[in-house]
Amino acid sequence: MNRFWCLYVPRFTVIFFLVSICIAMLLYPGGNHLETDQIGYSLSKNFISELGRFKTMSDDNNFFSAFLFIIASFINVLQGIAFLFIAKLFHQNKISYVFAIIGGICILIGNLFFVGVCLTPEDLFFDEHIFVAQNGFNFASLGIFSLSIAVILSRMKNIYALISVVLMILLVIYSITVGHIPEINPSDTVLYANTYSMETQIFKVIMQKLIVATLMMFVFTFTFGLNALIKNHD
């Protein structure tokens, strides 16, 4: 049971999420917040959550990309549940265990908020979309921070603590550099264009993808460091 939830489920959810998102990108009709005539999906100009739009900025139906985005988000909740099982592996150190529990709960709540992201497409429920996205990010950040402390205090190899610290640094950089930029509804094309330059949009998009890619790498590699803890727990 420990291996299933602590090793196989996190790895499966990472692979499933990345494959689903990549296919959704390939099927995305086109358009971004500043260029409605763009063909297809751009890694540097389209946010990940645009995959969940009801209609793209090019006014095309987005059923297939949105469907994959929704399925991937729901499957990713299993990852949050897995971290509750992972937290139990840190029981030999009480302080580490407490931080692992807090981290697991926060990651699960963050993943539930990210489900809310796909259920509130930005073109239909922009304010709600921003609310759940920001809270998902905040809870996920707190979860990673707590889990990082648990890892540092545990018997896991230092490399996993280093990876978690690097992720935390990226999250802080993202918050500092992107957090102050106002959120403007892209449906108001004039206001959006007057607020954002293409350079600003590209920066936000790339930072978002860098955070998501690092987070997925952290979850996947983190499971390999749990083998020793699973043996001690069993």
The residues pairing with 30 across neighbouring beta strands, listed in sequence order, are 39
pLDDT tens figures, 176-211: 888 778 899 999 999 999 999 999 999 999 999 988
Rounded distance between C-alpha atoms, residue 231 and residue 234, angstroms = 5
CA 22 vs CA 27, 28, 42, 50, 67: distances in Å: 9, 10, 11, 13, 13
Rounded distance between C-alpha atoms, residue 232 and residue 234, angstroms = 6
Report the pLDDT value the prediction gives residue 217, as an integer from 0 to 100: 87
pLDDT tens figures, 151-180: 888 877 778 778 878 887 888 888 888 877
CA 195 vs CA 32, 129, 181, 206: distances in Å: 15, 19, 9, 18
- The string of DSSP codes covering 25-93 is HHH--B--SS-TT-BS--TTTS-GGGGG-SB-TT--B-HHHHHHHHHHHHHTHHHHHHHHHHHGGGTTS
Report the pLDDT value the prediction gives residue 106, as an integer from 0 to 100: 96
Rounded distance between C-alpha atoms, residue 73 and residue 24, angstroms = 12
Whether the model pTM is above 0.85: yes
pLDDT tens figures, 58-72: 999 999 999 999 999
Instruction: Find out whether 228 and 166 touch, Cβ atoms under 8 Å.
Output: no
Share of the chain above pLDDT 70, in %: 98
Q: Sorting pLDDT into bands at 50, 70 and 90, what band is 234?
A: low
